[in-house]
Amino acid sequence: MPEFLRVVDTTLRDGMHSVTHQFSPEQMATIAAAMDAAGIDTLEASHGDGLGGSSIQYGRAAAPDRAYLEAVSSVLTRTKLAVLLLPGIGVKDDLDVAADLGAKVARIATHVTEADIAEQHIGLAKRRGMEVMGFLMMVHMAPIDVMVHNARLMEAYGADYVYAVDSAGYTLPPEVRDRVHALKDALDCRVGFHGHNNLGLAIGDTLAAVEAGADVVDGSLRGFGAGGGNAATETLVAVLQRLAIPTGVDLYKIMDAAKLVEPFKAQPKQGPDATLILGYAGVYSSFLLHTARAAERFGVDARDILVELGRRRVVGGQEDMIIDVAYELAQAG
């Protein structure tokens, strides 16, 4: 077990999916100030799909990235500001702007088999003096040796941490344990885990990661996040406190911070069954709201769409396939 477990809160980034990217900069600042007071080590802020994500394809945010980062940075006194960048959605200029506005941590995310597209972005972040966390998304879609190969690439490019990211909420605790163990054995840098709750396992998966030696884990207030959401930060802190694993987070204050997000959550119309199917099918969690809209538009069951997307092994960036599948299902009657 680590002596001090670092907790990163993703409410103001992954949680943007829960509110269709409509947090205002002022709302973000209020929530960020509460997390800062609670002692959260690092918080992440941006569009749900990272820097540059506000678009027709991924959903328009209520404000530009710059406005969010300025608002959040202005209220932080000890918590570090992180940003997520998916190469091809965000570009290097976005990372430069984020660094100028006070972001201290860059989380560079690729599909688990595509770490080689992150070299320039990791290099730029390091040159800007940022701490870098490499994100290997959809880890269930590659054998462990392939995941390790890509993790070593991220480390070689300069990543200070490499994460196993269960983007679909598909991975079971023993599988998480095996993957984190493999990363710990293979890497000199530190290792993280980011889970989703589509199968109700986000806390269990995170604890499995901690048992396997993870140095940093993610959560979000009230579990806000894509698909079934993330591990609820306040619950995670309470469980870790029960296990005598220090996080530096004040439990009561993070519980108070969690209350601030309660009025905002916009549940997808398809409800929890569609969320469950996301995890069952192994489909990227950010697909859920887009799938719910396509199901309504074409008069088909969102679950059928998600199962077919899982069969086709779609990955982030292939959201256009949702419409294709929904149309084909409607035509098939």
CA distance 70 to 229: 26
Structure-token match 């800062």, residue found: 36
- Residues sharing a CB contact under 8 Å with residue 142, sequence separation 6 or more, in sequence order: 112, 113, 150
- C-alpha distances in Å from residue 288, one per residue of 48, 110, 143, 196: 13, 19, 25, 13
Q: Among this protein's residues, is 17 annotated catalytic?
A: yes
CA distance 253 to 14: 21
Q: Which two tokens stand for residue 70?
A: 């300025």
Nearest to 50 by CA among 115, 100, 94: 94
Cα 249 from chain centroid (whole Å): 20
CB 215 within 8 A of CB 226: no
Nearest to 6 by CA among 69, 70, 82, 72: 82
Q: Which residues are catalytic?
A: 17
